[in-house]
Chain A
Amino acid sequence: MFDVVQILNYLFEIFSSNMMDIPLIAPIVDFLMQIPLLNILVALILWKPFFAVVIMPGLGVLMLYLLYIVWYERKLTARVQWRVGPLEVARPIRGAIQTLADGIRYFFQEAIVHREAHRPYFVQLPLLAFIPVLLPILFIPAGSAVGIYTPYSIQLIVTFLALIPITIVAIGWAANSRFAYIGSVREAFIYFAYEVPFIIAVISMIFLYSSGDAYVAVEKQSMIPGALLNPIAFIVYIIAMLMATSRLPFDIPEADQEIAFGPFVEYSGILFGLVMVLAYEKLYIMTLLFTILFLGGWSGIYCPLLGDLNGPLWLFIKTVVVISILVIVRSIYARYRLDQALRIGWTSMLALSIMALIVGGVVGVWLS
């Protein structure tokens, strides 16, 4: 009994030593901290590493973002194409909880595993795919809140992002259907086409800031945002981001009209729900990195009432605004053929990224 109390006290010490300081909810927190056992929970939630990973730029707002972006994308595309879009679920707010309704439906739908599938992999891989998607959140700092601080955070995020297509290719292989096969082969092709320019663009930004530390990157952008410091890397990053997340001009692996959602064609029920949001989560992570590298990260107008929440909030707002602008390309462009996309990736984008590398080196010398 004594040990348990001691351990709890020890944990409470750790949590309360590094808490988010938010003046807006300070009275409530102070009141809750006086209640035994509840205070350790409050301290855990407001503990900076936990807050960063589970709540603000992490899982909590990721869920909110998913609910928002799927509806927003459908609605925006519908408006541009003179349709109405999702409407009948919650009509007064123009169908805003459509995604929630879809999610609940996926949850209770039967997840069919067809006979030809490699059963263990087929069921496991949608869940395994979340590991490389969610691990970068650990290393993405937002103001003073950061899961694990490391001076190599940008490199680590890029590394985990590079792992995601492997799970998608594996999903296509495990599904063992012709559409899934074509989809995973296309995914592999596209993967090589965008990954090289993407990594070179990120390396050019690391050259520019002469560090892989997100804090240094944000600090050096305090005067001029990275998008102006290295506009070529900015363009390459945006195009690579569209390719990596299968946005419409490069919707090649998932091409609805040709191969019916590619690698994910055989999934149903909650497994489909999981693999469907994979691209959106990847988009979220990539845009967080994009915001840190090019748009000044979490720096913004400081509101004293929010205290430590300023950083995560600004990062989140910038991310959502960038994604909201990006999804409009879906309603403008038609899909490229695989060979066209590969040509873009291996010629112009590669050339642009190498130019970005030179610009990054030159500006980096000028900045230091």
Chain B
Amino acid sequence: MIRLEKVRTDPVETLKRHAEAFGEAVKQAIKPDRITVEYPRERRRYPECFRGFIVFDKDKCISCFRCAQICPANAIQMEYFDNAYPGIDYSKCIFCHFCVDSCPTGALNTSKVHDVAFKTMEEMKLSAKNITKIPDIVREEILTVDYYVDKNVWKLVKKKELDKLEVEPKPVVVKARKAACAEPENCLGCRLCVNVCPQKAIAVERCEITIEEEVTGTGCILRVDTEKCTGCGLCVRQCPMQILTLEEVGE
């Protein structure tokens, strides 16, 4: 049988610990180490990679649909005016920012507006025109708060200046690519790629084809205008024979 013995404590040690606790409490009462952010009046400065409201730059967009294709929540709908531009449905958006990362030209960019709120469901569906700039928000905060974290020091650093809402666009990680035909002899000449190309960079030319000098006939050859091609890859997805590819150009 195991008998538990009463824990023996040293009275001097106990008194010392009581005094220690009391001293710590007094220290905290005079100068607390608290790290509370008084939220609406102070706002924490988040790093720039935090995912917020998505801002769209119309001039950079090449209407490649890549954002709409990659969106896992189907929140991006392309709209047609001048060209196809993405509109974001914030009732669906999960802020994964795949669209921002996949954009080949950096037309979509994050911002530091992190608390996006709307009054009705209809308002949550934003068209491309409405996301070209940061929405008008009332900024209640007076201070910007930063956590200073050392090995054993947690401290709040409060700064008077407000954080800028705009985020500098990141350099695009996607390399520039151009459309090219990998197997020209398999081309059907269906012209789907010609129709889908937003830049009208693909042209189809008829040509004579001879195989082993026995069979002769007419076929088609694709000419991609590399000046016009933006590398959006729409033709690659459209091609029924899957012979179009995107070739990396430059570094």
Contact = CB atoms under 8 A, between A and B. Distances in A.
A82 B25 contact: no
Contacts, number: 31
Given A82-B34, A84-B34, A332 B21 contact: yes
A312 B36 CA distance: 41
A82 B32 contact: yes
B165 interface: no
Contact of B29 (A80, A84, A87, A333): A80
A79 B32 contact: yes
Interface size on A, as a range, is 10 to 19
Nearest to B33: A82
Contacts of A332: 21-22, 25
B33 A76 contact: no
Nearest to A330: B25
Contacts of B38: 84, 87
A181 B190 CA distance: 89
Contacts of B25: 80, 328, 331-332
A79 B34 contact: yes
B28 interface: yes
A82 B26 contact: no
A87 B36 CA distance: 13
B172 interface: no
Interface string B35-58: 110100000000000000000000
A80 B22 contact: no
A118 interface: no
Interface string B12-24: 0000000001100
Contacts of A83: 34, 36
A80 B26 CA distance: 8
Contacts of B33: 82
A297 B26 CA distance: 26
A79 B25 CA distance: 9
Contacts of A76: 29
B15 to A, nearest CB: 12
Contacts of A79: 28-29, 32, 34
A85 B10 CA distance: 37
Contacts of B32: 79-80, 82
Interface string A312-346: 00000000000000001001110000000000000
A82 B33 CA distance: 7
Interface in B177-197: none
Nearest to B38: A84
B82 to A, nearest CB: 50
Nearest to B23: A332
Contacts of A87: 38
B29 A82 contact: no
A83 B28 CA distance: 11
B28 A84 contact: no
A82 B35 contact: yes
Contacts of A84: 34, 36, 38
Interface string A73-109: 0001001101110010000000000000000000000
A328 B26 CA distance: 8
Nearest to B32: A79
25 contacts: A76-B29, A79-B28, A79-B29, A79-B32, A80-B25, A80-B28, A80-B29, A82-B28, A82-B32, A82-B33, A82-B34, A82-B35, A83-B34, A83-B36, A84-B38, A87-B38, A328-B22, A328-B25, A328-B26, A331-B25, A331-B29, A332-B21, A332-B22, A332-B25, A333-B21
Given A80-B25, A80-B29, A333-B21, 14 more contacts: A76-B29, A82-B28, A82-B32, A82-B33, A82-B35, A82-B36, A84-B34, A84-B38, A328-B22, A328-B26, A331-B25, A331-B29, A332-B22, A332-B25
Interface of A: 76, 79-80, 82-84, 87, 328, 331-333
Shortest 4 CB-CB contacts between residues of A and residues of B: A82-B34, A79-B32, A80-B28, A332-B21
